[in-house]
């Protein structure tokens, strides 16, 4: 009936092995592609680090207000629109929103201090001027060594 030619199988196998084979040209293309992508990533990272502006650092139209120490949880550094429990340590009052916060403040002295964002100095939270953004969703607060530092912060972070 039908007889296969013996050479046909060898030709197919040879053709198949050449098809899956990675050539020198393919390696060069892959290497150049990798170098191009890597260079683009390095350039973008460098640009963003040194020249990029993020929304976090841009001035905003948020207003700020000074708030009383009694309305700030000094463990979570969050504003509460109510009076909260306090604890007296070395004749200074520290406030926490719950018993676990006041206990934590008492047991961890480093929690009683914050960094003034203007002068970058260490500030005792019980003696600090506390500034709060007036937007409803924002509960964060900033601690300042003086009212002047707070005013500088407001001027630097508010759009005219």
What's residue 57's pLDDT? 44
Distance CA 113, CA 74 (A): 9
- Stretches where the chain sits below pLDDT 50 are 54-59, 160
Q: Which H/E stretch holds residue 79? A: strand 78-79
Of all residues in the chain, what percent are helix, strand and coil, respectively (each to 5)? Answer: 40, 20, 40
Phi/psi zone of residue 90: left (φ > 0), alpha (ψ -120 to 50 degrees), beta?
A: left
Q: Which residue from 118, 126, 124, 113 is spatially nearest to 149, judged by alpha carbons?
A: 118
What's residue 80's pLDDT? 85
What's residue 132's pLDDT? 87
Distance CA 96, CA 85 (A): 6
What's residue 160's pLDDT? 45
Alpha-carbon Rg for the chain in angstroms: 32
Q: Does residue 106 contact residue 87 with C-beta atoms inside 8 Å?
A: yes
| Residues paired with 64 in a beta bridge | 133
What's residue 36's pLDDT? 96
Cβ neighbours of residue 147 closer than 8 Å, sequence gap 6 or more: 66, 129
What's residue 10's pLDDT? 58
Q: Does residue 129 contact residue 118 with C-beta atoms inside 8 Å?
A: no
Cβ neighbours of residue 13 closer than 8 Å, sequence gap 6 or more: none
Distance CA 31, CA 28 (A): 5
């Amino acid at each position: 009936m039908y007889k296969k030619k013996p050479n046909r199988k060898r030709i197919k196998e040879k053709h198949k092995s050449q098809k899956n084979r990675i050539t020198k040209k393919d390696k060069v293309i892959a290497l150049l592609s990798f170098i191009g992508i890597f260079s683009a990533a390095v350039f973008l990272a460098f640009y963003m680090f040194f020249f990029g502006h993020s929304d976090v650092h841009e001035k905003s139209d948020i207003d700020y207000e000074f708030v009383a120490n009694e309305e700030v949880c000094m463990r979570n550094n969050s504003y509460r629109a109510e009076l909260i429990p306090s604890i007296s340590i070395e004749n200074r009052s520290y406030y926490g929103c719950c018993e676990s916060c006041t206990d934590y403040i008492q047991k961890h002295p480093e929690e009683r201090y914050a960094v003034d964002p203007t002068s970058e100095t260490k500030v005792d939270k019980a003696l600090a001027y506390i500034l709060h953004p007036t937007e409803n969703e924002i509960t964060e607060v900033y601690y300042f060594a003086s009212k002047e530092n707070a005013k500088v912060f407001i001027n630097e972070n508010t759009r005219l």
